[in-house]
């Protein structure tokens, strides 16, 4: 877990990475599970992108914890480095997709057609294209070394990740500036409604973009022995991303809180109706049980009266 660990406490760094990533993974799993549970109330294209982003981050944390320091097997280490390259790029492209979705929703109010049919395939396919080009150009040289299963800085392969990630951060920052400016100027009720639904995503991106940008700027210095303290900062920042998504999209999300209230009210109503129905059936059954003997007595009385009249 801790390459270039000559000047750092390896155990402490491992604990920070494992605990931080595990907490973020738990937060992301809760985020996905909660949105699935409340799907009928929160469903939207933006939420679908959020689910994809959460799943991509969960996979990235799992691979990072389980494989970034598995340098004993060169082939396996190379495969892990390639997978990390792809999945981290996918995370950034999914963030770009979320930024574009929020931007179009706020800036182009009358565009109601779904954009998922091209946003999601592009977010998953473009990272594969970049990784494929990098693999072909380098012939896998630079994917993993004796220190860690990541991209080499010495050979320049790291720029196959840093350049696209930096471009995405810049584009998303521009989109967010335009979106925030538009939200501050909203006047109509329909525009305000759209703004309210997008606030959680805007707030999350406002925190997540600088966090991820700082994380990977720090990551560029991660392997320098003379800057061992950077490893602690990188470990903390890298493990905060999933937690940020959980906080802004679950804990502080008004739409999710309202959906939970609706779901709770629905369950209460169903329970109340079920209880009343059971009581009604039970009461009806009791009344029918009393009525049946009465009918039988009436029928017997009629038969006796008819027999007496016949005999006379």
Mean pLDDT by 10 residues, the chain (312 residues): 52 84 94 94 91 94 87 91 94 92 80 85 97 94 85 85 90 87 68 64 80 71 57 79 89 88 81 62 53 53 54 48
d(CA 157, CA 141) in angstroms, rounded, equals: 8
Alpha helices in the chain (DSSP H): 10-37, 39-42, 45-67, 74-107, 116-138, 159-184, 189-220, 229-246, 254-311
pLDDT of residue 292: 47
- Indicate the pTM of the whole model: 0.79
Going from the C-alpha of 4 to that of each of 69, 213, 224, 227, the distances in angstroms are 11, 22, 7, 10
pLDDT of 5 reads 46
Which tokens sit at 262? 């609706």
Cα–Cα distance measured from residue 273 to residue 277, given in angstroms and rounded to the nearest whole number: 6
Nearest to 123 by CA among 82, 159, 87: 87
- Please report the pLDDT score of residue 2 as a whole number: 46
pLDDT at 300: 59
Taking a C-beta distance cutoff of 8 angstroms, is the pair 206, 99 a contact?
no
Among candidates 250, 252, 257, 241, which has minimal Cα distance to 209? 241
Q: Looking up tokens 């967010």, which residue turns up?
A: 176
What distance in Å separates the CA atoms of residue 65 and residue 25, rounded to the nearest whole number?
A: 11
Q: Two tokens at 131? A: 């990784």
81 and 150 Cβ atoms separated by less than 8 Å: yes
DSSP label of 245: H
| Tokens representing residue 291 in the block | 């009525």
Q: Is 108 helix (H, G, I), strand (E, B) or coil?
A: coil
Query: Rounded to the nearest 5°, which phi and psi values hold at 9?
Result: -80, 105
Block residue for tokens 């009720």: 189
Q: Would you tell me which CATH number, out of the four given (3.40.50.300, 1.20.1070.10, 3.30.1360.120, 3.30.300.30), belongs to the domain 10-252?
A: 1.20.1070.10
Distance between CA atoms of residues 161 and 159, nearest Å: 5
DSSP 140: T
Predicted pLDDT at 255: 87
Inter-residue contact 124 to 91 (CB < 8 Å): no
Q: Quick one: pLDDT at residue 183?
A: 78
- Give residues with Cβ within 8 angstroms of 171, minimum separation 6: 96, 99
* Phi, psi angles (nearest 5°) of residue 151: -85, 140
């Amino acid at each position: 877990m801790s390459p270039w660990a000559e000047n750092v406490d390896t155990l402490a760094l491992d604990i920070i990475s494992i605990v931080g990533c595990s907490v973020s993974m738990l937060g992301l799993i809760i985020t996905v599970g909660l949105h699935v549970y409340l799907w009928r109330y929160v469903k939207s294209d933006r939420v679908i992108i959020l689910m994809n982003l959460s799943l991509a981050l969960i996979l990235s944390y799992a691979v990072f914890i389980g494989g970034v320091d598995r340098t004993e097997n060169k082939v396996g280490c190379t495969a892990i480095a390639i997978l990390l390259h792809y999945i981290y790029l996918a995370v950034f492209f999914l963030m770009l997709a979320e930024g574009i979705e929020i931007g179009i929703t706020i800036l182009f109010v009358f565009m109601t057609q779904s954009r998922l049919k091209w946003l999601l395939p592009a977010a998953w396919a473009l990272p594969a294209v970049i990784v494929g080009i990098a693999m072909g150009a380098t012939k896998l040289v630079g994917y993993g070394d004796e220190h860690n299963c990541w991209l080499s800085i010495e050979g320049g392969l790291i720029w196959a990740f840093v350049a696209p990630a930096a471009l995405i951060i810049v584009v998303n920052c521009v989109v967010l500036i335009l979106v925030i400016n538009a939200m501050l100027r909203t006047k109509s009720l329909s525009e305000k409604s759209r703004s309210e639904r997008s606030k959680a995503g805007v707030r999350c991106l406002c925190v997540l973009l600088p966090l991820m940008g700082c994380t990977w700027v720090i990551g560029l210095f991660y392997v320098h022995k003379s800057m061992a303290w950077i490893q602690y900062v990188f470990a903390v920042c890298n493990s905060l991303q999933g937690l940020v998504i959980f906080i802004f999209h679950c804990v502080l999300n008004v739409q999710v809180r309202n959906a939970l209230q609706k779901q709770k009210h629905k369950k209460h109503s169903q329970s109340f109706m079920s209880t009343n129905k059971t009581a009604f059936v039970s009461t009806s059954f009791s009344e029918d049980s009393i009525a049946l003997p009465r009918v039988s007595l009436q029928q017997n009385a009629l038969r006796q009266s008819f027999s007496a009249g016949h005999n006379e």
